[in-house]
Amino acid sequence: MTGMREAGSNSQGQRVIIVTGPSGAGRSSAINTLEDAGFEAIDNLPLSLIPRLLDGPPLPRPLALGVDARNREFSADGLMELVGLLHRRPDVALELLYLDCDADTLVRRFSETRRRHPLSPEEPPQVGIAREKELMEPVREAADHLIDTSRFTPHALRAEVLRVFVPQTGLPMALSVQSFSYKRGLPRGVDMVFDCRFLANPHWDDALRACDGRDPGVVAFIEADPRFAPFFGRVQDLVASLLDAFVDEGKTSLTIAFGCTGGRHRSVATAEKLAATLAAAGWRVSKRHRELDRRAARVPPAGQG
């Protein structure tokens, strides 16, 4: 990766990264990486709409905008004019990312995916690749950041984009620990799931039934189950052993969920305990108790816990 000039010198404006480059060089992967890192990503937006998007108050998140030769209204001159306009706007902090790739690698990628090149749909990919590289050369020369993806795997490209655009804070991955009821199905977007239904159920204790897994009495009841400590210890060790590997893989968020019958007692208590353990180890942790959120003050029907 080569920095072409000082980028993003206007730190007070709306942060905007325009991602471009020849087809097959990895633009979509870069856009997806930025989206995973918290950017609002929009791909193939017509050039004429970009200034309108930036009019008005700053958006709550930085923007990643994908632009290439397939865009409606696209021309290299038009893109360069837009870049110049945005660089002059005091309310915009613009960075232009150009993803490049050698022609032989692009040919191989098109051959492997059996895709037609958008600039030569009825001709061999080599024709479109050469045409697009010539078309995009002025944009390449003006780029704030140039990443050559010729030797990159998708994982390596992801890591490079994160290195350049997402400063490391010592907190490389956000963790979410959740609880849920199996009766309502698995939560969406969960990476790891653990079943707590084998643990002793506080629902059958009349004094604890109306409480939830955040109550000290419920916690004490669950932790008194001789199966709890070995279970939690193994979960904790497994999660701890995988976190650094997920970070190395380029993962920016991880969701861990605990389920029980009603999503009120055992899964909540275990999720709370793991979240506290991870936070104490220095990870960014958020919590969500799906069934408690849905049924805030409602006592579950008999048999749930």
For the stretch 197-250, pLDDT in tens is 999 999 999 999 999 999 999 999 999 999 999 999 999 999 999 998 888 777
Residue 96 lies in a domain: yes
| Distances in whole angstroms, Cα of residue 259 to Cα of each of 61, 180, 199, 229, 262 | 33, 5, 11, 17, 8
Range of 269's domain? 174-294
CA atoms within 13 A on the CB side of 159: 11
| Distances in whole angstroms, Cα of residue 228 to Cα of each of 200, 239, 273, 297 | 9, 16, 12, 27
Residues 161 and 20 in one domain: yes
pLDDT per residue as tens digits for the range 240-279: 999 988 887 777 778 999 999 999 999 999 999 999 999 8
Residues 182 and 203 in one domain: yes
Residue 300 lies in a domain: no
Residue 57 lies in a domain: yes
Residues 248 and 211 in one domain: yes
Query: Position 4: which residue type?
Result: M
Q: Cα separation of 226 and 257, whole Å?
A: 22
Residues 139 and 191 in one domain: no
CATH of the domain at 126: 3.40.50.300
| Maximum Cα interatomic distance, the chain, rounded to a whole number of Å | 76
Asked whether 268 and 165 are in contact (CB, 8 A), the reply is no
- Greater model confidence, 20 or 304: 20
The DSSP symbol for 59 reads: P
Q: Looking at 147, 165, 183, which one is the last position of a domain?
A: 165
Residues 40 and 93 in one domain: yes
Residues 212 and 148 in one domain: no
Residue 20 lies in a domain: yes
Residues 53 and 158 in one domain: yes
Q: Looking at 165, 193, 214, which one is the last position of a domain?
A: 165
Residue 151 φ then ψ, to 5°: -110, 15
Asked whether 146 and 4 are in contact (CB, 8 A), the reply is yes
Sign of CA dihedral 178, 183, 188, 190: positive
Residue 304 lies in a domain: no
Residues 10 and 145 in one domain: yes
Confidence (pTM): 0.54
pLDDT per residue as tens digits for the range 114-151: 677 766 677 777 887 888 888 888 888 888 888 989 88
Residue with tokens 């309310």: 91
Residue 301 lies in a domain: no
Q: Cα separation of 24 and 78, whole Å?
A: 22
> What is the domain count for the chain?
2
Q: Indicate whether 112 pLDDT > 90.
A: no
Local structure of 95: helix, strand or coil: strand
CA atoms within 13 A on the CB side of 126: 1
Q: pLDDT class for 179, splitting at 50, 70, 90?
A: very high
Asked whether 271 and 175 are in contact (CB, 8 A), the reply is no
pLDDT per residue as tens digits for the range 17-66: 999 988 888 888 999 999 888 889 998 888 888 998 898 777 888 999 99
Q: Indicate whether 12 pLDDT > 70.
A: no
Q: Is 206 exposed, middle or buried (0-12, 13-18, 19+ CB in 10 A)?
A: exposed
Residues 68 and 145 in one domain: yes
Residues 139 and 43 in one domain: yes
Q: Looking at 133, 165, 197, which one is the last position of a domain?
A: 165
Residues 107 and 184 in one domain: no
Residues 74 and 93 in one domain: yes
Residue 299 lies in a domain: no
Q: pLDDT class for 9, splitting at 50, 70, 90?
A: very low
